Structure 1
Amino acid sequence: MRNNTVAAMQLFENMLLLLALAVLLLQVSRRMSLPYPSMLALAGAVAGLLPWAPQVSIEPHLALVLFIAPALLDAAYDTSPRELVRNWLPLTALVVVAVLLTTAAVAWVGWAHGGLPLAAAITLGAIVAPPDAVAGTTVMQNFRIPRRTLSIINGESLLNDAVALLIFGAAAAAAMTPHLAISSQLPILAASVPAGALLGYLLGKAFVHLAPIVAGTMSATIVEFVMTFGAWLIAEHLKISPIIAVVVFGMTVARYFPSRSNARDRVHSYAVWGAAVFALNVLAFLLMGLQARNIIAQLSGQARMDALAFAGAVLGTVIVVRLAWVLAYGTVIRALHPAFERLGVEVPVAPKRVGVLVGWSGMRGLVTLATAFALPADFPGRDTIVLAAFAVVLGTLVLQGLTLGPLIKRLGIQPDHSLEHELASARTRLVDAALQVLEGQETHKPGVAEVIQELRADRRALSNPAEASTVTELDEARLQALRSQRRLLHELRASGEIEDDVFHVIEEELDWAELNASAAAQARIASV
């Protein structure tokens, strides 16, 4: 018992030191304007080189639900269904075709050159197929590339996770059960997808109606985590797609819950979920670095060189296939664009330079790491697959992530200021809505005139509402104006006059303004 306690404390101390190392590298990332996932990848690699670093393992089944469910929910919440529909063709090309091409190409490399069984090779292909948008968007937002391109990359990041995880589940099951053919699981998968979508929608609607009961308490955060992980676990028990269930759950909550929640809970929820997903990213990269170290340590001589060469071949395949497909797709679409116009079909046509940028932005991240963790210890070729997965994540994040900024400058892509223009237009309309409610009341209610003056100043400068620390009559007027602005904001979103990215930016501004105008007790999260 004593030895177990000492080992547990050593593990805890070592993990704290590793997390501290990650924090230091992340500060370097912030100060040098580098994408933080690239620094996390380097932190994982450095952790694997430290001689005192612990040997850490995670139960495979736990890895998927622990790492994937929160990441999927976070991505689904920020994904606009309207944008998915608008960009259906490029998303289909990236989400379906690119994932299938990458899976097939990597599977061939694994089968022909890595000595993996076919099902295990397909599993490897599914693991490294889905890009992670975090690193790409972190860089691209700084350069203000076209919003539509960012929207496509974000939508791709969510949907290709779902497609790749479906392939992963079928291939991994076939690899562990040799007599079970992958094709035999296709009918089951076909049925599990709509069933998972239905379950996610029902759970999302249930959350929308139940969450207000615990609003304003710490229990609200617990309910969010329970419902998210619960959606995954319930789907697993029902033998339907947990990935689709969590994705639809997140999109349902994002669509219907903001109008039923309050500013206090939203600010608290965003902070908690942002920290949780970020911490899971840090932990996943550190764990992968430690596992890669153990795998390399077990190899010697030629075997180690062969394993590293194979990992490099997989990395090269992943990069080349995506870049080649994106450029080929762009060439075909530009050639067929006149035909689409004659048919009255709107198809976005991006310049070739944007295609190069999208093709080069295929960095891999948390989903690749988590699915590699999820392989059981006796999985055929597990060490080879895990090492290749880590090489792809590290290679793409460092090679592509650190060169995206210079590439954008080299391509000469012009900054897109449409977000700022749409924000200014929406803010102006919200101020007008508040003024319409309050004008004419200044002679009847003290303090209203001051609010009107502030709103008129906001109308001119489009600045944030003034801060206030106590609930005075002026604060009450502010809250009344904010309620009218919030109603209009939801109407603008529902009618499609503004996009979801504009909605979320202004919603957060209104949340903070509401908290500033509220009493301290109302802004504080209660314990229960």
Structure 2
Amino acid sequence: MDIVLITTIIASLFLVIGAAEPLSARLRLPYTVILALIGILIGSGAIFFLRTELTDALNPVAEAILALPIRSNVFLYVFLPTLLFQATLGMNLRRMLDDWVPIIVLAVVAVVVATLSVGYALSWVSTLPLAACLLVGAIVSTTDPSAVVSIFRSISAPRRLSRIIEGESLLNDAAAIALFGLFMGFVMIGVPDPRLGEALAQFPVLIAGGVLTGWFAARLAIWIMALFSAHELALISVSVALPYLAYIGAEQMVGASGVIAVVAAGLTLNLAGPGRLPPQSWINLREIWDLLAHWAGALIFILAALLIPRLLEDVRISDFALIGVVVIAAIAARAMILFGLLPLLTLLRISPVVERPYRSAILWGGLRGAVTLALALAVTESTRVPLEVKRVVGILATGFTLFTLLVQGSTLRSVIKRLGLDRLSPIDEAMSRQVVAVALQTVREDVARTTEDYALTHDVVRSEAKVFGERLDNAVKTAEDSDHILDRDRITLGLIALAGFERDTILQKVRERTISARMAEQILLDADRLIEGARVGGRSGYQRAARRSVAYGRSLRLAVVLHARFGLASVLVRMTADRFERLLSQRLILRDLDDFIDGRIRRIHGRRVADLLQELLSRRIEMVETGLDGLRLQYPGYAEELERRFIRRTALRLEEREYASMREDGLIGAEVFTTLMQDLTKRRAEAEHRPSLDISLKRLELVRQFPLFADLDDKAVRRLNRALKFRYVSPDDIIVRKETLMKSVFFIASGAVELESTGQTWRLGRGEMFGQVAILMKNARRAEVRAIAPTTLLVLDIARFRALLEKSTALQEAVKDSCKKRGIDPETLLGDVKKTA
């Protein structure tokens, strides 16, 4: 084929892609539906001009269009990795984990159920063997990511609904393609009735192999990209190679799912990339991938749609009945999962609640597209598949795809509207009014400064100010309308606005490099949870999200147990260092929120709401400070190292700003600026390195390092080591309850505790003890002691403690100090102890 003609056709397709988007907006149809229609028209037109006798002038173009090398492998190896990889890069993974149960159910269980439902339904009404019917079921059971994601984003669906749909569409390709491979093998070797148990047993191998392949490929790519961090184009080039090598490696070398490998690689890069790559390079990488995915998604739809006229050439009247069976069986299987299994899982508290309107939208939003057509094309290309099976599979897959695109896709917007998912809730409407009022107030202040700076004509300023002032007064009056917004809703609105500003502040700090991009991912997740918590649960929802943001998660508690029981320290070191940096970053952000409450919230919602928000903010700051105090007591000095690192990064940011200003003012030339920036980049890389944290505990050395036992000889230390018992305590666990009779003294080897007694609170850290006063006074303990960090305690019984107290001067001094803090005469107490001894 003439290369000039091919180039012309491809360039023309890009013109079509450019025209399709404004056309879809004008016709109010999904972008992918417009692309599919254009592709069908082009393919039908090419066939028409080749067969008509009206003219031969367009025959070369028609032949070139129909001769384009459109094969199933082109879709699966060229376009699909791009679409999947970009979608994973754009995901909010940590938020998606909140709905991982419904996503997995829809991505795996629903695919299996749809495959079986369609397969057995076809076997009952057609003469096809069961293996071929199940093959059709596998082909039509996958929702297409390029169709689903683009449509749900274009109609501004609720965020949670979009997350569930995107997660399902990404992961169900792997399940469907794995089933397709299994049943395709049975059809080619002529097995009419496959054993489903053996087929489904290969699932875990395909998925696990794909996950491991994708993870390894991504980790290797991240390591290479980190080496190239100073060369942005090289870094982006490595990212382009990653999904293709992961897909090919999994499919051809490992024998696993290439789709899962690409998704795993994208998820790994999404999680690890922001912390290992320069922030601006990461932003540019994401933008490049957005463009590549836009082109790939559009081309895959147009090229796949070109095949539809050819696949439907041999359609018969009876085939329409079979298409109807496939449509009914597929929708029924999906409805059974959405309205049967998911509510049951919710009832069993396995899955979060998925509201009924959401489930209805998911049911109608299960669109098929290029992936389904590509799998059908793979069947028609095979020489080992019987001709009748080829014909029926191609027609049924194509007919079902057309139904989902033209019927479901074109009506999805109206279904969303009918379900009420396109309307703002009363809270959202009130919040939009608040945003307008706040924005107009800010604009008025900026316009006033501008008129003063430029000395504009007084009459013009006054006339425009009057018009603008009326608009602002109306907006503020609407925002303050008490008839429409209850006090409870005002508080909710204020909390949503506060959490939104917190999120914007985090992004600003990341751009300024005050907070690392790696840490920003975690605290941005906290901000998103605050927004959703306030939106759903008001004040209580916000407070729950706030407590969760500073609490010790299950993974950290598990790391503490692994370290305590098995000595595995690496995971705990990393997670503890992350917690240190996360709390410091949160404290930095929270201290910037006061001005927002006083400057904006107070003007819109009044003093009472602003004061309440200040109180909630103070509680959050107190929780963060408590967490930091616990870590400081547990690892003294480490917080200071992190704070020094923050100061160094801030200084480097300010230094960079000064160099840029001098360059813009012409004070330094390009050569000097480049040299300065290279040196700055080198120092910034050093400042980004986080100091190491030592959490190792060696029992005998630990006892020797206790200041309380400093004056004991080696023999006494070894004897004490044998007498001491280790006890591991998780954060928030109660160590000593009020009115409990003390039988032991506790020495803090690591961690921190909070002691509360008679309205007073003390915090104790590494090297300190508690319980000694109650034992020496022989009375019930009237204090409660709880851990505020993962804590390791050395426990000594009463008799050994009294014996040790007689021998250790350092221990006697420590007891005196603790008595003085509690207003007890230490000499009298210690004198009573000596008499008793």
1:173-252 equivalences under 5 Å are 173-179=185-191, 181=194, 183=196, 184-215=198-229, 216-235=231-250, 236-252=252-268
Which residue of structure 2 lines up, in the alignment, with residue 385 of structure 1? 393
Which residue of structure 2 lines up, in the alignment, with residue 427 of structure 1? 504
Q: Counterpart of 1:382 in structure 2: which amino acid?
A: K
Structure having the larger proportion of residues in strand: 2
Q: Counterpart of 2:291 in structure 1: which amino acid?
A: A
* Structure with bigger gyration radius: 2
Which residue of structure 1 lines up, in the alignment, with residue 296 of structure 2? 280
2:130 pairs with 1:118: yes
**Distance across 2 between alignment mates of 1:234 and 1:88:** 27
Q: Counterpart of 1:425 in structure 2: which amino acid?
A: E
Which residue of structure 2 lines up, in the alignment, with residue 370 of structure 1? 374
Query: Which string of whole-angstrom CA distances, capped at 9 and with x for unpartnered residues, describes residues 443-473 of structure 1?
Result: xxxxxxxxxxxxxxxxxxxxxxxxxxxxxxx
**Distance across 1 between alignment mates of 2:522 and 2:338:** 37
Which residue of structure 1 lines up, in the alignment, with residue 34 of structure 2? 39
After TM superposition, give the deviation of residue 229 of structure 1 in Å. 0.8
Distance change in 2, residues 1:194/1:487 (3 Å): closer
Distance change in 2, residues 1:194/1:41 (3 Å): same
**Distance across 2 between alignment mates of 1:164 and 1:498:** 33
Which residue of structure 2 lines up, in the alignment, with residue 254 of structure 1? 270
Determine helix, strand or coil for the equivalent of 2:219.
helix
**Distance across 2 between alignment mates of 1:26 and 1:19:** 12
Provide TM-score, normalisation by structure 1: 0.74
Determine helix, strand or coil for the equivalent of 1:87.
helix
Distance change in 2, residues 1:130/1:60 (3 Å): closer
Determine helix, strand or coil for the equivalent of 2:312.
helix
1:428-467 equivalences under 5 Å are 428=505
Query: Which string of whole-angstrom CA distances, capped at 9 and with x for unpartnered residues, describes residues 159-202 of structure 1?
Result: 21221121112111222222595554555443232222122111
Query: Which string of whole-angstrom CA distances, capped at 9 and with x for unpartnered residues, describes residues 410-445 of structure 1?
Result: 2223536599875433114556x69xxxxxxxxxxx
Query: Which string of whole-angstrom CA distances, capped at 9 and with x for unpartnered residues, describes residues 206-251 of structure 1?
Result: 1111113334343333322222111111122222232222221111
Distance change in 2, residues 1:316/1:76 (3 Å): same
After TM superposition, give the deviation of residue 21 of structure 1 in Å. 3.5
Higher relative contact order (CA 8 A, sep 6+): 1
Query: Which string of whole-angstrom CA distances, capped at 9 and with x for unpartnered residues, describes residues 465-496 of structure 1?
Result: xxxxxxxxxxxxxx7x3443746524514x75
2:28 pairs with 1:23: no
Which residue of structure 1 lines up, in the alignment, with residue 731 of structure 2? none
1:151-190 equivalences under 5 Å are 151-179=163-191, 181=194, 183=196, 184-190=198-204
1:323·1:360 contact (CA, 8 Å) conserved in 2?
no
How many residues get paired? 448
Provide TM-score, normalisation by structure 2: 0.48
After TM superposition, give the deviation of residue 73 of structure 1 in Å. 1.5
Distance change in 2, residues 1:295/1:155 (3 Å): closer
Q: Counterpart of 2:268 in structure 1: which amino acid?
A: T
1:200·1:249 contact (CA, 8 Å) conserved in 2?
yes
**Distance across 2 between alignment mates of 1:263 and 1:31:** 37
Determine helix, strand or coil for the equivalent of 1:257.
helix
1:269-418 equivalences under 5 Å are 269-297=285-313, 299=314, 303-329=315-341, 332=344, 336=347, 340=348, 345=349, 347-375=351-379, 376-378=381-383, 379-380=385-386, 381-413=389-421, 414-415=423-424
**Distance across 2 between alignment mates of 1:499 and 1:33:** 33
Query: Which string of whole-angstrom CA distances, capped at 9 and with x for unpartnered residues, describes residues 69-124 of structure 1?
Result: 22222233334443454223322331223212211122234434454332232222
**Distance across 2 between alignment mates of 1:500 and 1:193:** 34
Distance change in 2, residues 1:58/1:110 (3 Å): farther
Distance change in 2, residues 1:115/1:22 (3 Å): farther
2:32·2:301 contact (CA, 8 Å) conserved in 1?
no
Unaligned runs of 5+ in 2: 50-61, 429-492, 533-652, 665-669, 675-837
Distance change in 2, residues 1:294/1:257 (3 Å): same
2:122·2:133 contact (CA, 8 Å) conserved in 1?
yes
2:506·2:520 contact (CA, 8 Å) conserved in 1?
no
2:78 pairs with 1:66: yes
Distance change in 2, residues 1:369/1:79 (3 Å): farther
Superposed CA RMSD in Å reads 3.6
Distance change in 2, residues 1:488/1:11 (3 Å): closer
2:106 pairs with 1:106: no
1:136·1:363 contact (CA, 8 Å) conserved in 2?
yes
Q: Counterpart of 2:275 in structure 1: which amino acid?
A: S
**Distance across 1 between alignment mates of 2:246 and 2:530:** 24
Distance change in 2, residues 1:296/1:130 (3 Å): closer
Give me the identity figure in percent: 25
Distance change in 2, residues 1:430/1:91 (3 Å): closer
**Distance across 2 between alignment mates of 1:228 and 1:127:** 23
1:296·1:304 contact (CA, 8 Å) conserved in 2?
no
1:76-115 equivalences under 5 Å are 76-115=88-127
Query: Which string of whole-angstrom CA distances, capped at 9 and with x for unpartnered residues, describes residues 4-39 of structure 1?
Result: 43xx54444344444434433332113444321121
**Distance across 1 between alignment mates of 2:191 and 2:210:** 27
